[in-house]
Structure 1
């Protein structure tokens, strides 16, 4: 009998390489992309990956939706005493012009041959909703919590399992 526990075991052992979306569908810009172009992308996306160039795809950073606050604030909005902070320099008025100027360079990554379980554990540890999938220093994909939820639900439909009121699983009935 195919049940929720078996579905979870299958789900946890899936390779990220097998479920991540094509790179062409991901929000990716190069280091020299203008901040205004990045803002246009962030109107409909939660993040943008910043790569050195489209050929090498070397990951250089990420710009998240919430980073827009720093981009739009004036440098004087930051209370500091010992000179400019890196956050204030991310502001357009602080001199930020290109994607690399506003990108967070400390990106959470996971190797492409990792499993869903590896990704979930890393997401929980760092309270992250998305990870860059890399092959060395090259961006090859992404894995998000939304993708994992969709993949798990797809797996349940394929396995013909449904949730019951009591939190257990059972075979769904055919009409």
Structure 2
């Protein structure tokens, strides 16, 4: 087994709880937060987690950067299809006022004891780039994104003294 394969095996087996950022650094709003607060966060973030309140931190939903389009468009510009009528009401002009009005309720989650391999597998299966890390009571504990996983893999490669060459082989870094 070469150095890159060893690094990947270590990477795959890492527990998410050991690499996830602290909840304090995450973009979080409550269900009753005004949409303006959500938009302010989305200027610099790709998503905002929505919780019931800051004390309990029960995960209720997520608002993604691309959801802003539906929030800002007038309702008549949103195509309402059978089973998708709710997007009409996610517009500010359609009556949306707070985070709970515009959030996506079906959030992809994963347990904090899951491994990097578990997270990557779930991301690929459901074509998502970020997962909420929750406990058994659906309390938000952290998040894991593809970007964080890339950073962690690169950190691991550097720490392990391995340089990954384009042809797929590895050599000790100098």
* CA-to-aligned-CA distance 1:64-120 (integer Å, 9 cap, x gap): 0000000001111134488x9100000000000000100000000001110000000
Counterpart check, 1:149 vs 2:150: yes
Matches within 5 A, 1:1-175: 3-80=3-80, 85-136=85-136, 137-173=138-174
Question: SS at 2:62's partner residue?
Answer: strand
User: 1:17-74 deviations in whole A, cap 9, x for unaligned?
Assistant: 0000011000000001000110010000000000000111000000000000000011
Structure 2 gaps, min length 5: none
Q: How many residues are paired up?
A: 172
- Contact 1:2–1:161 (CA under 8 A) maintained in structure 2: no
Secondary structure in 2 matching 1:105: coil
Residue ranges of structure 1 left out of the alignment (5+ in a row): none
TM-score, length-scaled by structure 1: 0.94
CA distance, structure 1, for counterparts of residue 76 and residue 36 of structure 2: 21
Q: Where has structure 1 moved over 4 Å in runs of 4 or more?
A: none
RMSD: 1.5
Instruction: Give secondary structure in 2 for the equivalent of 1:48.
Output: strand
